[in-house]
Structure 1
Amino acid sequence: MSILLDHDWRQEFNRLQGAYSSSTMRGYYSDTEAFVTWCATEGLPTPFPASVETVCLFLEDQGKSLAPSTVRRRLYAIRKVHRLLRLPDPTYDEDINLAFRRVKRSKPIRPKQAKGLTKDYLDQFLKNEPDTPWGLRNRAMLSLGYELLTRRAELVALLAEDIEELGDGTLRVLIRRSKSDPFGAGRTAFTSQRTARFVRDWLDWRGDYIPWLFCPIYQGKAVNRDLSTTTVKRLIKDAATRAGLDAAEVNAFSGHSLRVGAAQDLLKRGFDTAAIMRAGGWKSIGVLTRYLENAEHNVWV
């Protein structure tokens, strides 16, 4: 079997375009790069096709400094490259399974949980947003993201045509595509009148020539392009800072905090996990259970 050059796997990754999200594509690239670089550093030959021994050594070496979830993701990238190149796949060998089990057992840590941006925090953050174009946008994003239980990518992917104003002053919103819905079946969610008002105020300033619901603002003008997912994390932390929270509390918030906090509030209001899963588009109860852990001790207060 001939040894394949490094550029071959890059070319083959072009076949994935349109089949996976941009974040998944970035992950495949970065994780494969990590494997290729590691092989070069260790003086090993071009890594495709990889031997079982090489993959085992790589996984165990990566496990010394990385979380098991990251090591697993890199294993999946190695598997994907071998499939794309139509090479024998070494990643299902039992030695690979044992190597990964050693990685997991060496770091028995619980996943870090984002701090929930509950309604109390939301009200505080909204009150402290400035009366500027940025404040108009951020109020709408914070309030909408909380009420729709959106992931970061879902929030920034919303289009203006995805919202419909109803007769009672609320909004019906179509969330077209998500991590758990890669083929875009979509789910429908509804807002309060307050959130609808924030969205209308933002759109009145932004104008109707931009397809994305939310967009960047440069020198006081709306820019005709979408936002990155990192914007959600940044605006949450900025809002927490403006609200006067201490640095440790600010750092505990993340781009997932809107989704976490809304789920926790629904639990405290008496909704069961099945209803919360439907509201947030969860397919697995495992992640939701972690979100709800910090809320459970307050349920009966």
Structure 2
Amino acid sequence: MLDEATAKDFPDWRAEFKRLEGAFAPGTIKSYLTDVERFVAWCEEHGLRALPAEAETVCAFLEGQAVILCPSSVRRRLYAIRKVHRLLRLPDPTWGEDISITLRRVQRAKLSRPKQAKGMTRDYLEQCLAAQPDNPWGLRNRAMLSLGYDLLTRRSELVALRSEDIAMRADGTLRAIIRRSKADPFGMGRISFSSRRSAALVSAWLAWRGDKIDPLFCGIYQGKPINRALGTTKVKLIIKEAVAAAGLPPDEVAGFSGHSLRVGAAQDLLCAGFDTAAIMRAGGWKSVNVLGRYLEFAEHNVWA
């Protein structure tokens, strides 16, 4: 629990996170806040000081969290504790051999493979597009699903697209610039190209949506477009609803997530004979290891 001096000097540690706005993604800041709140609450419950914390307190917290969280989430909570101490200019308790040993213990205690989203490969995509209703929601969702697959987007990249980020080309395809992503926090951007089908679907959506909306894919309220971008959670919901509407069984639907478009497109590129470098460039990957997990389930199709 905060002692009297700390409470006086730092009455609202949450306010310090406003300093991160513009330097970090909103989702990252939100995660930091949530993780620090968990730590502070845990310290209050156990009668321990959270700010500044002792290394022993942090180690005990991490080991307790390991019971309910995967190792990557435990590590993220450590980073959040580190960040709040630095923002408050307090002694940082998150470095040292005891912390390193605790993290290794957490990692070794759960030797499990990361859960991989089921890829929405071309066959699944075509089923989903065919199952969309003939109304404004179906028009938008067909364009989103097809374009997200073609551009290998993360869901955050897909909802961040704006009208000015796309341009129709003379050959009937579409050119898009993905200005900022998880692997590109400083907005260098990457250029991607769509199929003719996606270009046609996006054109049909834009003709209905009109030209006074900033987000490429916006919300729809009472049958009318609203000038508001969709949230990342909405992308996951649209994907799951699409595969359910396509008639897939519930256990298969459960495997799809907001990453499924990206995973499925990468798997299809591998099966089509593209090498790792080409796939990494198309999807903006920086890590071969991450891409390798996406491609594992496609390899048996390549060599079958």
Normalised to the residue count of structure 2, the TM-score between the two structures is 0.97
- 1:8 and 2:8 are equivalent in the alignment: no
Structure 2 partner of 1:18: 22
Structure 2 partner of 1:112: 115
Distance 2:82 2:252 in 1: 39
Distance 1:286 1:214 in 2: 31
Contact kept in structure 2, 1:3 and 1:48, CA below 8 Å:
no
| 3-state SS of 1:91 partner | coil
| 3-state SS of 2:217 partner | coil
Structure 2 partner of 1:180: 183
Q: 1:61 to 1:272 in 2, by over 3 A?
A: same
| 3-state SS of 1:88 partner | coil
State which of 248, 254, 257 in structure 2 corresponds to 1:254. 257
Q: Which amino acid aligns with 1:293?
A: E
Shift of 1:169: 1.0
- 1:92 and 2:95 are equivalent in the alignment: yes
State which of 222, 228, 233 in structure 1 corresponds to 2:231. 228
Contact kept in structure 2, 1:163 and 1:172, CA below 8 Å:
yes
Distance 1:130 1:290 in 2: 34
| 3-state SS of 1:217 partner | strand
Superposed CA offset, 1:259-298 (max 9, x none): 0000000000011111100000001111100000000011
Q: Which amino acid aligns with 2:24?
A: Y
Shift of 1:93: 1.0
Shift of 1:7: 3.8
Shift of 1:4: 2.2
Contact kept in structure 2, 1:165 and 1:171, CA below 8 Å:
yes
Distance 1:297 1:121 in 2: 18
Distance 1:234 1:23 in 2: 18
| 3-state SS of 1:90 partner | coil
Structure 2 partner of 1:160: 163
Structure 1 partner of 2:43: 39
Distance 2:5 2:74 in 1: 25
Q: Which amino acid aligns with 2:16?
A: E
Superposed CA offset, 1:9-65 (max 9, x none): 2121111011101110110000000000000111113x1111011001001111111
Normalised to the residue count of structure 1, the TM-score between the two structures is 0.98
- 1:245 and 2:248 are equivalent in the alignment: yes
Contact kept in structure 2, 1:3 and 1:49, CA below 8 Å:
no
State which of 57, 61, 64 in structure 2 corresponds to 1:58. 61
Superposed CA offset, 1:74-94 (max 9, x none): 000000011111111111111
| 3-state SS of 1:20 partner | coil
Superposed CA offset, 1:192-248 (max 9, x none): 111000000000000000011000111101011110001110011101111100000
State which of 274, 278, 284 in structure 2 corresponds to 1:275. 278
Structure 2 partner of 1:28: 32
**Stretch moving more, 147-156 or 91-100:** 91-100
Distance 1:4 1:99 in 2: 27
| 3-state SS of 1:172 partner | strand
Superposition pairs for residues 205-220 of structure 1, below 5 Å?
A: 205-220=208-223
State which of 190, 197, 202 in structure 1 corresponds to 2:200. 197
Distance 2:169 2:69 in 1: 48
What is the aligned residue count? 300
Q: Which amino acid aligns with 1:37?
A: A
Q: Which amino acid aligns with 1:21?
A: A
Shift of 1:8: 3.5
| 3-state SS of 2:145 partner | helix
Q: Which amino acid aligns with 2:219?
A: P
